[in-house]
A = this chain, B = another copy of it.
Amino acid sequence: MIARRRSRVTSFDVAALAGVSQSAVSRAFSANSSIAGDTRAKVLEAAHKLNYIPNFLASSLTTRRTNIIALIIGDLDNPFYVRMLHGFSERLQQAGRQILAFTAGPETDTDAIMMRVLQYQVDGIIVSSAQLSMRVTGLSHDRGIPIVFFNRYVPGSDASCVRCDNAAGGCLIAEAFLGAGAKTFAIVTGESRATTSQDRIRGFVERLIECGIEPSQIEQIEGFSSYSGGADAAISLVRDRKTALPDAIYCVNDIMALGVMDVLKHSFGLSIPGDVMLAGFDDIPESRRLPYQLTTVRQPLDKMIAETLALLHLDETAHPIDQGVDRAIPGELIWRNTVPSARVSRIPPGARPRSR
């Protein structure tokens, strides 16, 4: 058993042992500060002897930088957001910064989380979950803390946002289905409040309609952005059915598509794309696996991360905060085996749906 709270080793202790002033210790630990080589050496040696580690929080009081970035994660059950976390973590860690992580389910009060984030004087905030109120993004800006929304936006807010061009992605899927000869469609939707889901639906539907599909040929069913939501959607799509199955099913994200596919194949013995075509969105690692081979739209994750970090201006301490920036980065259609690759499309080239 070790007693807690022994008094800490401070820069004063180190200074005393090294025979220098406390400010010399401070200088020894900060890069490019004017200090003589041997002074620094003396300090470092004393520090090592005492197991001294500078208290970063104390220094943040004066420097006003914590090197902490808050990341609010909406859905860890979706592998895409796990990959996002992974990506940010690697990039940030190698830049000497840390992630303060928050998870927020659909029912979580994101504003409450933000209040906690703000108490910690983070250097930046990345939000990939349900929308925040404008008041809270305002509080963040007041404090000079940049905030960027990842793959979602707050309509009408001045906060910046980086996302996949979701509407254009939906459009790509529509064209793939059309090119393969589909005439009737089902959309498995995500959470209705998520702009991501809305945009992916809109791009898809608008393109279909442009190409002469009747709205009555497009049905929608809720999938709640989860594997089991997708599975349930598939069940009700097949079971309670009077008319023929749709030719093609578009899942607004891959994780739902996996659920749909598993149920279609294993519970109903349907073949894909033989009996129905299927497509997703995201390109999570699972989609590439042997049992799935899912045709989908790949989100440009690396670019999105780089762009998000750029908008945070982490290294330019005095940089003003960007507002209202909206970066929509195009995704890429990944052809695999769930849509027959009649790649030669005879789709009218006409104007595509606009990005927002």
Contacts and interface: CB of A to CB of B under 8 A. Distances in A.
Interface string A78-119: 000010011001100100101111110000000001011011
B64 A5 contact: yes
Contacts of A61: 57-58, 61
A119 B57 CA distance: 8
A25 to B, nearest CB: 15
A58 B57 CA distance: 8
Q: Assembly of this chain: how many copies? A: 2
A227 B286 CA distance: 10
Interface residues of A, number: 66
Interface in A291-344: 291, 317-323
A289 B266 CA distance: 10
Majority secondary structure of chain A interface residues (helix, strand, loop or mixed):
mixed
Q: Which of A64, A98, A141 has the most CB of B within 10 A?
A: A98
Nearest to A324: B1
B68 A76 contact: no
B86 A103 contact: yes
A100 B98 contact: yes
A57 B66 contact: yes
Interface stretch (A47-55, A271-279, A346-354): A47-55
Given A61-B58, A76-B82, A102-B93, A115 B53 contact: yes
A223 B184 CA distance: 44
Contact of A103 (B6, B68, B90): B90
A189 interface: no
Interface string A1-37: 1111110100000000000000000000000000000
Contact of A2 (B6, B8, B289, B321): B321
Given A4-B317, A286-B286, 7 more contacts: A57-B60, A58-B61, A82-B82, A89-B102, A93-B102, A101-B101, A262-B289
28 contacts: A4-B320, A5-B144, A5-B318, A8-B143, A51-B139, A53-B115, A53-B119, A54-B119, A56-B119, A56-B120, A57-B57, A57-B66, A57-B121, A61-B61, A76-B89, A77-B86, A77-B285, A82-B82, A93-B102, A98-B101, A99-B100, A99-B102, A100-B101, A101-B101, A265-B291, A266-B290, A267-B290, A291-B291
